[in-house]
Structures are given as C-alpha cells and as structure tokens.
Structure 1
Amino acid sequence: MPVRLLVYTRTTAYRHDSIPAGVEALRTVGGFEVDHTEDPRALEGPLDGYAAVVFLSTSGEVLTPAGRERLAAYVEAGGGFAGVHSAACTEYDWPYYGELLGARFDRHPDHQPGKAIVEDHEHPATRHLPAVWDFVDEWYDFRTNPRAAVRVLASADESSYDGGGMGADHPLVWCREQGAGRVFYTALGHAAEAYEDPDFRAHLRGGIDWAANAG
C-alpha cells in the first residue's frame, strides 16, 4: 500500500524554482501517494490519515497558530515529519519547530559542486550512497551544530567547495525522534536538477520512508 504524504510547499520568504520538480519527484519516485498543498488550513485539520508530513522547500512563517498546534500534536503522537532543503529556513518564530527539525539555517555559499561524507550506511536514506557523494548544492550552514541531538547520516566536506562556515564537523543530513514520531531532514535539494538525480531521489524516498516508519 502506498505511503500517504501531505507535502507542504508554502513560502513567505525566498521561493525556490525547484518546488514543482520536487513535488513531481515525490509523486513519481514510487511508493508515495501525495497530497500537495500551500494552504495553511490543510495543517489545521486532522493529520492522522498521513504517514508523514513533508515540508518541501518551505520558507518563512508558513503555519497558523492552530496549524502549529496540530502539527506538534501529530508528531508527538507518532506521525512522521520530513524537511527538505529550506525547510530549515522556516518558522523561525516557533521554538518547537527548531527543536523538531534539529537546527536552523544560517547562510550558504554559492551553488556549486562539493562532496558529502556518508557517516551512516545503515539508514535507508543513505545506504545506497557511496562513502563520498559528489553533489551540486548550496551546502547550508546552520546556526548550531545539531550533532548532539540527532543521528547524523551525512556531513559536508568543506574542503571540497568554497565558502563553508561550520568547519570540520558540518552535519548535512540527519534524523531524530520527537515524542513518538520520527523526523528526517536533508539540506540538499536546491535546484530542479537535483530531483532528476537517481541517487537523490532514492535519498528522499529512503528518508521519508523512515520518517513514515515504512522503511
């Protein structure tokens, strides 16, 4: 049976041109039944029909107070949550969201080739990847290093690109538990081309499956 997702792409700050490609990737990667919305009212109603809620390149303040309450209750009760790319640039005014995701976006260098170091090959988001994953992205820096509170799956090799700001320990992809729920986050996914990459598509599929407790 397909895993049913609520994919949310509302933006009130920077908007990524890659959002349509990301939604299409989740519809076509296999195994997901996708309800896509940008209406904050969709987060105010019951969410227990979804295996996971996915914030795909959201930005700014995107939830109502009722939506915040509903999302928190959903995850605490066992619902899955996945954040992709600028999901880390979202809901800065809601402290719970920063805890839920694990870290908040700080800055990024230019979009450029670099290398991600896979630290955990046991996770479905990364088990298909090489030890060193060549990719093109923005290589997000975060305001704090989340390592103490998350399971780091991959980190950025700052020596492989220009402009990194976190140093030798630079988590990029991770997962964690929140209440009875599971949370997955990947900082990758800036450009539309990323969503055509088979390794990245499998990365998304594995991470969301894990968050949904389906893989």
Structure 2
Amino acid sequence: MKKTLNALAVAAAVASTPALAADTQFAVLVLAMPTKYHYEYIPVARESFEKLAKLHTFDLTWTAQPGAFEGDLSKYAAVVLLNSSGEEFNEAQRAGFERYMKAGGNAVVVHRAIISKPGLWPWYEKLVGRCFVIHPMLQTAVVTKVDASHPATFGLPDKWIWSDEWYEFSNPHGVKINPVLAVDERTYDPKKIWPGQVATGMGADHPVSWWHAVEKGRVFVTALGHNGEMYRDGRYLDHLWGGVWWAAKGLGVSPKP
C-alpha cells in the first residue's frame, strides 16, 4: 500500500508540473473576471487558451483575480485582459500594471476590456488607444483587413463575415493607433439600437482591431469576441492568437514611435 501511495504521489507531482519541464517560448497571464455582462464565455475561452498553450508551447497562467497585478508581472511576456476592464482595478493593481508596462511589458485588450468609465483612469484609456462610446445591437457585418502584414490577420480572408457588437469609439487623448481590421458600416445598421439610446456609427473609418506602442511595450487591441461560441471559432482564435503572439514576441510588425 505504501509503495502504491508513493507511486501515486510521484505521478501527481509529474502531472502538476509539465510546464516546468517543457521548453516553452514565453509566459502569458490571462485575466478573465466574471462580471455582470460577460461570464458564460469563460470556460470555453479557458479551454481554447489551454489548447493554444499546448499547441504553441507557451506557459499560460489563467486568473479571475485582478490581485495578480499587484505581484511580480515581469515573468510574463504579455498580459491578456479578456473581457476584463481596468476599471475593475484598485489603486495598487493600477500601479502594478503601469510599472509592468513602463518596464517593457506588453498587453492584449479584448472586447469589453476596452470599456472604462471616462476619466476614471486616463492612463488606461491611452493604453487602449480609443474610448468606448456605444454599440448598436449585435449584427452580422463585413470585416476587412486594413493591415494584412499583421499576424492577427494571417488566418483571415480579406473580407470576413462576422457577427458582433460593433463598438463605436472616440479619441479624447489624440492617441495614434495602427488599425488592423475595420468593419464596413454599409453592411449593417449602425443606428439599430435599444429605445432611449442613440448610435450613429463612425463612417468609413471604423477600426475594430489595432496595435500601438505604449510606454516601452506593445499593445494589441481587438473589439471582437462578444460571446462564448466565438472562442470555438478557428478564424477568431487565429486572429486572437496572432495578436497575443505579436504582443509577446514583437515579430511580424514592429511598433512605430
């Protein structure tokens, strides 16, 4: 019996530490907090990220706790805010994120993570590069490549039919971004919205994914990714993985000043 227990203990120890033995490329932290608006996507997204980590040989740390940003983030090549906005951070967590970026850290901002209460954390608004204004009802539309040289577009056709919440943005801080994907407003109704709300669209210049340099690091942003089924879609995962890989490694496209 004792020998059996020892064997089980050894097996458990080996099973719990595969990442330590693997020759991994880099480490990524994913923050996915269950909130009022997004929570059902989490188990699906986590499973997909774990598959990506195995397929592409990187270390994945998954957390629902923003307290991770109070610790040492220096081991992570990139942090992913997956539908988890910086508006949920307390003062210590904000300070930790700013230190990370100022030291050369990199970030990926996905869908609702773009949204932050105006004026609450101007640094975060600048990091995202655009401020959320409103979105019409979820609709199908045509997404087009603006920068076919960016890894986040490599798995996508030149024109991609996609259904999502088409966020409208403002740029109160005058941040220069490098658009990767845009939505063609001629292919959906930008004014279709709930009673009492008004959406007008953004016209011909309506980015839905972009990148830019922030502090000493790289930031990739995608407004796509509203529901759980999207995290089972190969095209969306190619888009998201391309953004994560670029943020972590800086390959494919170099940040512009």
- When normalised by structure 2's length, the TM-score is 0.78
More helix by share: 2
Aligned to 2:27: 4
Gapped runs of 5+ residues in structure 1?
A: none
CA contact (8 A) 2:126 2:173 kept: no
Matched AA of 1:149:
K
Of residues 76, 83, 88, the one that matches 1:62 is 88
Q: What is the root-mean-square deviation in Å for CA atoms of aligned residues?
A: 2.0
Aligned to 2:157: 130
Say whether 1:176 aligns with 2:202.
Answer: no
Instruction: Describe the shift of the 1:110–1:203 C-alpha distance in structure 2 as closer, same or farther (beyond 3 A).
Output: same
| Aligned positions of 1:52-131 closer than 5 A | 52-59=78-85, 61-90=87-116, 92=118, 93-131=120-158
SS at match of 1:61: helix
Report the Cα distance in structure 2 between the residues aligned to 1:145 and 1:13, rounded to whole angstroms. Answer: 27
CA contact (8 A) 1:3 1:214 kept: no
Larger Rg: 2
Of residues 31, 36, 41, the one that matches 2:67 is 41
CA contact (8 A) 1:150 1:174 kept: yes
Of residues 190, 193, 209, the one that matches 2:226 is 190
Q: How far does the alpha carbon of each residue in 1:85-128 deviate from its partner, in whole angstroms, 9 at most, with x for none? A: 10111364100000001112111111121111101111110123
Q: How far does the alpha carbon of each residue in 1:28-70 deviate from its partner, in whole angstroms, 9 at most, with x for none? A: 1232422111222211011001111100011472112111111
Instruction: Describe the shift of the 1:212–1:80 C-alpha distance in structure 2 as closer, same or farther (beyond 3 A).
Output: same
Instruction: Describe the shift of the 1:194–1:158 C-alpha distance in structure 2 as closer, same or farther (beyond 3 A).
Output: same
More strand by share: 1
SS at match of 1:78: coil
| Aligned positions of 1:13-52 closer than 5 A | 14-29=37-52, 30-31=55-56, 32-52=58-78
CA contact (8 A) 2:86 2:124 kept: no
Matched AA of 1:18:
Y
Report the Cα distance in structure 2 between the residues aligned to 1:145 and 1:171, rounded to whole angstroms. Answer: 16
Aligned residues: 215
SS at match of 2:88: coil
Q: How far does the alpha carbon of each residue in 1:169-211 deviate from its partner, in whole angstroms, 9 at most, with x for none? A: 1011000111210000000000111111111111111101111
SS at match of 1:194: helix
Instruction: Describe the shift of the 1:104–1:132 C-alpha distance in structure 2 as closer, same or farther (beyond 3 A).
Output: same
* % identical aligned pairs: 40
Query: Once structures 1 and 2 are overlaid, which stretch shifts more, 182-191 or 32-41?
Result: 32-41
Say whether 1:202 aligns with 2:229.
Answer: no
SS at match of 1:190: coil
Report the Cα distance in structure 2 between the residues aligned to 1:147 and 1:21, rounded to whole angstroms. Answer: 36
Instruction: Describe the shift of the 1:91–1:67 C-alpha distance in structure 2 as closer, same or farther (beyond 3 A).
Output: farther
